Amino acid sequence: MQALEYVAPASLDEAVAALAKHGATARVLAGGTDVIIQAREGRRQVGVMVDIKGIKEATSFSFGSDGSLTVGAAAPCARLYGDAEVQKRFPALVDSASLIGGIQIQSRASLGGNLCNSSPAADSIPTLIALGGVCNIIGPSGKRDVPVEDFCTAPGQNVLQAGELLVSITFPAPAANSGAAFERFIPRNEMDIAVVNAAASVALSADGSKFESARIAVGAVAPTPLYVKAAGDALAGKPVSEATIDAAAAAASDAAKPITDMRGSAAQRKHLAGVLTKHVINTAIARAKGA
Partner 1 sequence: MVTTSKPEYKVIGTRPVRPDGVDKVTGRAQYGADIKQQGALAGRVLRSPHAHANLKKIDASKALALDGVKAVVTARDIVGPDGDLSKLPDPAANILAGTKVLYRGHAVAAVAAINDHVAQEALKLIEVEYEVLPAVLDVREAMRPDAPILHEALRTRAPTGPSEGPSNVVAQTVSAFGDIEAGFAECDVIVEREFSTKMVHQGYIEPQAATAHWNSDDQLTIWTCTQGSFPARESVSQILGHPISKIKVIPTEIGGGFGGKISVYLEPVAALLSRATGKPVSMRMDRTDVFEGTGPTPGTNIRIKLGATKDGKLRAAYGDMAYENGAYPGSAAMYATMVVTAAYQIEHVKFDGFDVVVNKPRTQDYRAPSAPAAAFAMEQLIDEIADQLKIDPLKFRLMNSAAEGSRGPMGMPFKRIGHEECVEAALNSPHYNTPLEGPNRGRGVASGFWFNVGLRSSVNVSVQPDGTVNLNEGNTDIGGTRASLAMQLAETLGITFEDVKATVVDTDSVGVNDVTAGSRVTFASGMAVHEAGKNLIAALKERLAPTWQTTPDEVQFEAGVFKNADGSKTMTFKEAAVATVGRGVGLTVSGSVNAGFLAGGGFAHHIVDVEVDPDTGKTTILRYTAIQDAGTAVHPAYVEGQMQGGAVQGIGWALNEEYYYDDTGRMANSSFLDYRIPTSLDVPMIETIIVEVPNPLHPFGVRGVGEPGIVPPLAAIANAVARATGVRQTQLPMSPRRILETTRGIA
Ligand X SMILES: Cc1cc2nc3c(=O)[nH]c(=O)nc-3n(C[C@H](O)[C@H](O)[C@H](O)COP(=O)(O)OP(=O)(O)OC[C@H]3O[C@@H](n4cnc5c(N)ncnc54)[C@H](O)[C@@H]3O)c2cc1C
DSSP track, 220-239: SSSSS-EE-HHHHHHHTTSB
Taking the least distance from each CB to partner 1, the nearer of 88 and 188 is 188
What's the rounded Cα separation, in Å, for the pair 197 and 277?
9
What's the rounded Cα separation, in Å, for the pair 158 and 160?
6
Q: Taking CB under 8 A as the criterion, which residues in 176-195 touch partner 1?
A: 185, 187-193, 195
H-helix or E-strand spanning residue 271: helix 266-288
Residues 11-50 as x/- pattern, contact with ligand X by CB under 6 A:
----------------xxxxxxxxx-x-------------
Which listed option, partner 1, ligand X, none, makes contact with residue 272 (CB within 5 to 8 Å by class)? Answer: partner 1
Nearest to 126 by CA among 163, 100, 89: 100
Taking the least distance from each CB to partner 1, the nearer of 19 and 181 is 181
Which listed option, ligand X, partner 1, none, makes contact with residue 112 (CB within 5 to 8 Å by class)? Answer: ligand X
Taking the least distance from each CB to partner 1, the nearer of 215 and 263 is 263
What's the rounded Cα separation, in Å, for the pair 97 and 80?
7
Question: Cβ-count burial of 290 within 10 angstroms (0-12 exposed, 13-18 middle, 19+ buried)?
Answer: exposed
Residue 272 and residue 263 in contact, taking contact as beta carbons nearer than 8 Å: no
Taking the least distance from each CB to partner 1, the nearer of 81 and 185 is 185
Task: Point out which span in 1-9, 96-104, 126-134, 248-256 binds ligand X (CB under 6 A).
Answer: 96-104
Under the binding rule (CB under 6 A), the answer on residue 109 touching ligand X is yes
Task: Point out which span in 107-115, 200-208, 238-246, 270-278 binds ligand X (CB under 6 A).
Answer: 107-115
Q: Taking CB under 6 A as the criterion, which residues in 123-152 touch ligand X?
A: 123
What's the rounded Cα separation, in Å, for the pair 168 and 113?
11
Q: Encode 110-162 in three state secondary structure.
A: EHHHHHHHCCCCCCCHHHHHHCCCEEEEEECCEEEEEEHHHCEEECCEECCCC
Under the binding rule (CB under 8 A), the answer on residue 1 touching partner 1 is yes
Under the binding rule (CB under 6 A), the answer on residue 105 touching ligand X is yes
Shortest CB 263 distance to partner 1, Å = 7
Closest residue to ligand X, Cβ-based? Answer: 113
Under the binding rule (CB under 6 A), the answer on residue 122 touching ligand X is yes
Residue 135 and residue 100 in contact, taking contact as beta carbons nearer than 8 Å: no
What's the rounded Cα separation, in Å, for the pair 139 and 102?
33
How far lies 218's CA from each of 130, 168, 183, 257, in Å?
A: 9, 22, 10, 11
Nearest to 73 by CA among 131, 42, 117, 104: 117
Which listed option, ligand X, partner 1, none, makes contact with residue 109 (CB within 5 to 8 Å by class)? Answer: ligand X
Task: Point out which span in 61-69, 123-131, 222-230, 267-275 binds partner 1 (CB under 8 A).
Answer: 267-275
Residues 130-149 as x/- pattern, contact with partner 1 by CB under 8 A:
--------------------
Residues that bind ligand X (CB under 6 A): 27-35, 37, 52, 73-74, 99-101, 105, 108-110, 112-114, 116-117, 122-123, 160, 165-166
Residues that bind partner 1 (CB under 8 A): 1-3, 42, 185, 187-193, 195, 261-265, 267-268, 271-272, 275
